[in-house]
Amino acid sequence: MTSAIDALGLERIDLAHAGSESYPMHPKVRAVAGAELLADLEPIG
């Protein structure tokens, strides 16, 4: 993931998963629970 962040010039990556809680996986990578997608993700733009 960190190589993708660097290669694409991203600030961070949020990964959706089927679990019930969101949690950090790395300072720039976060696992976001499917049930919390709308509440946890910031709008693009």
Q: Say if residue 41's pLDDT is above 80.
A: no
The model's confidence at residue 29, banded by pLDDT at 50, 70 and 90, is very high
pLDDT digits (tens, 9 = 90+) for 8-21: 999 999 999 999 89
Calculate the CA dihedral of residues 9, 27, 34, 7 and round it to 10 degrees.
Answer: 20
pLDDT at 8: 95
pLDDT at 9: 95
39 neighbors 16 (Cβ within 8 angstroms): no
Domain boundaries, the chain: 2-40
22 neighbors 31 (Cβ within 8 angstroms): yes
pLDDT at 21: 92
